Chain A
Amino acid sequence: MNGTSRSRIGMLVMMILAIALIVAACDSGESVDTGETTTTAASGGETTTTAGEGGEDTTTTAAAAPEGGGILIAAQGAEPDRLDPHLTSAYASFQVLENVYDTLVQPGPDLSMEPALAESWEISDDNLTWTFTLRSDVVWHNGRAFTADDVVYSYDRIMDPDFGANNAFRFASIEEVTAVDATTVAIQLSRPTPNLLVNIGAFKGMAIVPREIVEDGTIDTNPVGTGPFRFVSSSPDQGIVLERNPDYWRASEGLPYLDGVTFIQIPDPTVKLTNLRSGEVDWVDTVPPQQLAALEGDSSVVVQRVPGGDYHYFALNQNREPFNDVRVRQAIATAINREEIAEAAQFGAATANQTAIPAGTFWSYDYAPFTASDTAAATALLEEAGVSDLTIEFLVTSDFPETVTQAQVIAAQLDAIGVGVEIRDVDFSTWLDAQGGGDFDAFMLSWIGNIDPDDFYYAQHHSTGGFNFQGYNSPEVDQLLDAARVETDQNARKALYDQAATLIVDEASYTYLYNPENINAWGPQVTGYEVRGDNAIRFVETQLQR
């Protein structure tokens, strides 16, 4: 008996191993080309990409495009949730979709709107009809020709109130979209909309999609676009595989250069960077600022930092006492030190700012009324308001760890004026719930990817704004924002926004903190990639030199 028992253990071990092997064997996936085969990248100086600061054009002189530019492995820190551009709100999804879909117009290198699927557009004298002339040489990844009907279909889908598109609010001023002919689309507006181009083209959330993949339900699993890369497959083990679109509408310029892009997901930032340094991946999205110093001295890694359009801020709940008193908000806005906060949270990869829009763009507004760490002024304001023994609960989330760091720094800074800070650190779902329910003294987050000042101010500070959770209500600001929305003269429009921003900052509807830099990193084999101010990830002009 004892002898057989022993051999049974042996059998058990064998069985476990056998099961392991069978299971592994069952897992047959498509093979993935790791891109090491093709190395025909143009090493000659044929291609010059000048993406200078104010450079309007990215001049690309590629007479003979390098066929077969290898497959770029791009590592993302987060997992794309879904691939329907009209439903997702995840940045990780848009990193992929940016390379698959197109919009009618798109932000250029300096974030001014430039032609994409639309070659040109005209505005009627009453500013209520915009007529777009579409490119006639665009083909969907499934081979069908792109026409004006696709634009009408996509915009109707976004505007359908029963559908629930994330960006429906951007189409609020659009009455009707019609196809005049196969290459002409007319957009009828209810009011002049000077920022219409930004509304329909700021990012791929307003992408033009083909009707057939919506109707057969494959838009989330098998997207079909008009962009430089075609979707091949998506799986948790092989990531999202894209291949070169040979029929891309810029194919005559030899674009895209790469044979494909594979997005893989590596959640841990240290491991993501280790993959870059060991050459397993070619490119990584965000780099933790605390790693910047180490990476910038590493010859196996190229780090690029660009001033971005994002901003970090906090907002005090004006539906609660004592934050409904403007003096209390002002006291806090002047007791803090934005430079210290930016340094602690972003390790220098940020610029302190008392307004939302970063310096260096047409819309930026140089206004900084609060002296940093002015404890005397802050204490005086609190006394005036008759507030003492104040403790503020800051709603932050570890899912955006910089908000926690910032709250810690602010706690130390407010201690100097005798204001206590309780940090309430929850996960992002709970954070959103608390924010939406008004269950906070102060919440802290960032806004990303805004281009037009309407994006920066309207929804956040207009009394009817959809994201005005702090309860700011200023008839004057409402009036200015409403007027600026329909002002077609650029300079007059900017003047209106400057006035609105003055009030918003003075009355501390938001307390703006800083604009972080956009940071990507890649291996020295990658060329022709530029970090963009809007954080869009575009590989269309990227090359690999292996």
Chain B
Amino acid sequence: MTGYVLRRIGQMVLALLGVSIIVFALIHLVPGDPVRTALGTRFDQEVYEALRARAGLDQPIVVQYFTWLGNAVTGDLGVSFRSGVPVTTLLLQRLPATITLAFAALFVALVVAIPLGIVSAIRSGSRLDYAATATSQVAVSVPDFWAGIMYILLFSLVLSWLPPSGYVSFFEDPLEWARHLALPALTVGLISGSIIFRFVRSSVLEALNQDYTRTARAKGLTERQVIWRHVMPNAWIPIVTVVGLQLGFLLSGVIVVEVIFAWPGLGRLALLSVQDRDFTVLQGAVLLIAFMFLLINLVVDIVYGWLDPRVRYD
């Protein structure tokens, strides 16, 4: 197990290195130039050259990459060209809001998806199953920006229950933290929940049709015992997989929802850095997101073995 984890960590480092090369190459292929963007329409060749030189952007790309990599290894991700602030500071400022929203949305998603998915599978073909499946189809299809605006208009403007946007840290005011978190968590959580619901339903349904389930029923166990002791343990693995993927997706910053709710997360930072061609920030943000994705994958794989002893790592 330890060997397995160490091997996986080694793979993670290699993957991150690959990601950094790809990102670096991609952002330099896209048209647009950070210096021009910073200058706006008031372009002046001398000013342009001076700014480029000062930011080291006049160096060949390969030199820029290795300079960046050398610093990154020591934890220095560079300075944002757009704001003059160190990239690590910018990322750390945004990380709490992103993690808060990701876990809150996942909480909403699990609370909705797991019970509903299990019940829908057990009573598949029932009215409840049809209703739940249809609702999840709608929830996945409705664009998140539209749903978000509708929630804001309803809960903030019409009912005056919740603030329309913004983020308050938990330590500052737990109640306001929850009030500000509710709508974005609902918007994202229902979409993730609908995706997870479908996986829960299908994997429970699959386990219900297995021979061991028939055997369990045949030997006279109650339906409750059949579900919890024979069906669910076998259904968890695909569910954990999709939950891990959803969490990775949520942590990578739900850009549209962050924009709608003025949520100060990584997604908005990444968006701004793309708009302004702020290469160092984008590079840092993508690396952080990739790292979180890889970390979640590792955790999910470890959880597999924990949930199902048949999974071996050697």
Contacts of A264 in B (CB 8 A): 166, 262
B33 pairs with A12, CB closer than 8 A? no
Contacts of A447 in B (CB 8 A): 41
Interface centre among B40, B164, B308 (most CB of A within 10 A): B164
Q: Which residue from A20, A27, A235, A270 sits with its C-beta under 8 Å from B171?
A: A27
The total number of A-B Cβ pairs within 8 Å is: 210
Contacts of A20 in B (CB 8 A): 99-100, 103-104, 107
0/1 string, A146-159, CB within 8 A of B gives 1: 00000000000000
Contacts of B34 in A (CB 8 A): 429
A1 pairs with B309, CB closer than 8 A? yes
Contacts of B229 in A (CB 8 A): 2-3
Q: Which residue of A lies closest to B33 (CB)?
A: A433
Question: How many angstroms between the C-alpha atoms of A236 and B51 in the bound complex?
Answer: 26
B245 to chain A, nearest CB (A): 15
Chain A residues with a Cβ closer than 8 Å to the other chain, count? 72
0/1 string, B274-306, CB within 8 A of A gives 1: 011100000000000000000000000001001
Question: How many angstroms between the C-alpha atoms of A236 and B40 in the bound complex?
Answer: 23
B233 pairs with A2, CB closer than 8 A? yes
**Would you list which residues of chain A between 1 and 34 have a CB under 8 Å from chain B?**
1-3, 5-6, 8-9, 12-13, 16-17, 19-21, 23-29, 31-32
Q: Report if A6-B233 is in contact (Cβ < 8 Å); known contacts: A24-B169, A271-B262, A429-B37.
A: yes
Question: How many angstroms between the C-alpha atoms of A265 and B107 in the bound complex?
Answer: 27
A433 pairs with B31, CB closer than 8 A? yes
Question: How many angstroms between the C-alpha atoms of A2 and B32 in the bound complex?
Answer: 57
B71 at interface (Cβ–Cβ under 8 A)?
A: no
Q: Which residue of A lies closest to B162 (CB)?
A: A278
Q: Which residue from A24, A162, A432, A436 sits with its C-beta under 8 Å from B50?
A: A162
A309 to chain B, nearest CB (A): 15
Question: How many angstroms between the C-alpha atoms of A9 and B96 in the bound complex?
Answer: 25
B31 pairs with A25, CB closer than 8 A? no
**Would you list which residues of chain B between 2 and 48 have a CB under 8 Å from chain A?**
30-34, 36-48
A35 to chain B, nearest CB (A): 15
Interface centre among A169, A264, A275 (most CB of B within 10 A): A275
Q: Which residue of B lies closest to A73 (CB)?
A: B166
A319 at interface (Cβ–Cβ under 8 A)?
A: no
B55 to chain A, nearest CB (A): 9
Question: How many angstroms between the C-alpha atoms of A1 and B236 in the bound complex?
Answer: 14
Q: Which residue from A169, A267, A271, A280 sits with its C-beta under 8 Å from B268?
A: A267
0/1 string, A428-469, CB within 8 A of B gives 1: 111011111000000001010000000000010000001100
Question: How many angstroms between the C-alpha atoms of A265 and B271 in the bound complex?
Answer: 14
Contacts of A399 in B (CB 8 A): 275
B85 at interface (Cβ–Cβ under 8 A)?
A: yes
Question: How many angstroms between the C-alpha atoms of A447 and B43 in the bound complex?
Answer: 13
Contacts of A275 in B (CB 8 A): 163-166
Q: Report if A271-B164 is in contact (Cβ < 8 Å); known contacts: A84-B84, A236-B93, A467-B41.
A: yes
A267 pairs with B160, CB closer than 8 A? no
Contacts of A277 in B (CB 8 A): 157
A168 at interface (Cβ–Cβ under 8 A)?
A: yes
Q: Which residue of B lies closest to A167 (CB)?
A: B42
B228 pairs with A274, CB closer than 8 A? no
**Would you list which residues of chain A between 367 and 401 have a CB under 8 Å from chain B?**
399
A476 at interface (Cβ–Cβ under 8 A)?
A: no
B156 at interface (Cβ–Cβ under 8 A)?
A: yes
Contacts of B121 in A (CB 8 A): none
B253 at interface (Cβ–Cβ under 8 A)?
A: no
Question: How many angstroms between the C-alpha atoms of A165 and B54 in the bound complex?
Answer: 12
B47 pairs with A165, CB closer than 8 A? yes
A6 pairs with B228, CB closer than 8 A? yes
B182 at interface (Cβ–Cβ under 8 A)?
A: no
**Would you list which residues of chain B between 108 and 151 have a CB under 8 Å from chain A?**
110, 149
A161 at interface (Cβ–Cβ under 8 A)?
A: yes
Question: How many angstroms between the C-alpha atoms of A17 and B309 in the bound complex?
Answer: 25
Question: How many angstroms between the C-alpha atoms of A318 and B142 in the bound complex?
Answer: 47
A114 at interface (Cβ–Cβ under 8 A)?
A: no
B276 pairs with A268, CB closer than 8 A? no
A237 pairs with B32, CB closer than 8 A? no
A176 at interface (Cβ–Cβ under 8 A)?
A: no
Contacts of B47 in A (CB 8 A): 164-166, 168-169
B164 pairs with A27, CB closer than 8 A? no
A278 pairs with B149, CB closer than 8 A? no
B170 pairs with A27, CB closer than 8 A? yes
A482 at interface (Cβ–Cβ under 8 A)?
A: no
Chain B residues with a Cβ closer than 8 Å to the other chain, count? 77
A430 pairs with B96, CB closer than 8 A? no
0/1 string, B77-114, CB within 8 A of A gives 1: 00000111100000001101101100110110010000
Q: Which residue from B30, B42, B170 sits with its C-beta under 8 Å from A89?
A: B42
Contacts of A274 in B (CB 8 A): 152-153, 156-157, 164-165
B307 at interface (Cβ–Cβ under 8 A)?
A: yes
Q: Which residue of A lies closest to B265 (CB)?
A: A236
Q: Which residue from B85, B99, B107, B163 sits with its C-beta under 8 Å from A280?
A: B163
B69 at interface (Cβ–Cβ under 8 A)?
A: no
Question: How many angstroms between the C-alpha atoms of A433 and B103 in the bound complex?
Answer: 40
Q: Which residue of A lies closest to B106 (CB)?
A: A16
B171 pairs with A28, CB closer than 8 A? yes
Contacts of B276 in A (CB 8 A): 81, 429
A220 pairs with B164, CB closer than 8 A? no
Contacts of A432 in B (CB 8 A): 32-33, 36-37, 40-41, 43
Q: Report if A23-B43 is in contact (Cβ < 8 Å); known contacts: A2-B233, A31-B172.
A: no
Contacts of A466 in B (CB 8 A): 42-45
A199 to chain B, nearest CB (A): 13
B259 pairs with A267, CB closer than 8 A? yes
A271 pairs with B165, CB closer than 8 A? yes
A221 at interface (Cβ–Cβ under 8 A)?
A: yes
A487 at interface (Cβ–Cβ under 8 A)?
A: no
Q: Report if A28-B169 is in contact (Cβ < 8 Å); known contacts: A81-B82, A432-B36.
A: yes
A87 at interface (Cβ–Cβ under 8 A)?
A: yes
0/1 string, B177-204, CB within 8 A of A gives 1: 1000000000000000000000000000
A271 pairs with B261, CB closer than 8 A? yes
Question: How many angstroms between the C-alpha atoms of A237 and B152 in the bound complex?
Answer: 19
A427 pairs with B275, CB closer than 8 A? yes
0/1 string, A248-272, CB within 8 A of B gives 1: 0000000000000000111110110
B85 pairs with A220, CB closer than 8 A? yes
Contacts of A265 in B (CB 8 A): 262
Contacts of B152 in A (CB 8 A): 270-271, 274
A428 pairs with B264, CB closer than 8 A? no
Contacts of B307 in A (CB 8 A): 5, 8-9
Question: How many angstroms between the C-alpha atoms of A270 and B169 in the bound complex?
Answer: 24
B149 pairs with A237, CB closer than 8 A? no
Instruction: Name 17 extra pairs, CB < 8 A, besides A2-B228, A433-B36.
Output: A5-B236, A16-B107, A28-B169, A164-B48, A220-B84, A237-B96, A237-B97, A264-B166, A267-B268, A268-B262, A274-B153, A429-B275, A432-B32, A445-B41, A447-B41, A466-B45, A467-B42
Would you give 5 A-B contacts (Cβ < 8 Å), ordered by A? A27-B96, A89-B39, A278-B157, A427-B275, A434-B31
Q: Which 3 A-B pairs have the closest CB atoms?
A: A429-B32, A236-B264, A27-B96
Chain A interfacial positions (CB closer than 8 Å to B) = 1-3, 5-6, 8-9, 12-13, 16-17, 19-21, 23-29, 31-32, 79, 81-82, 84, 87, 89-90, 161-169, 220-221, 235-237, 264-268, 270-271, 274-275, 277-278, 280, 399, 426-430, 432-436, 445, 447, 459, 466-467
Chain B interfacial positions (CB closer than 8 Å to A) = 30-34, 36-51, 53-54, 82-85, 93-94, 96-97, 99-100, 103-104, 106-107, 110, 149, 152-153, 156-157, 160, 163-172, 177, 228-230, 232-233, 236, 259-262, 264, 268-269, 272, 275-277, 303, 306-309
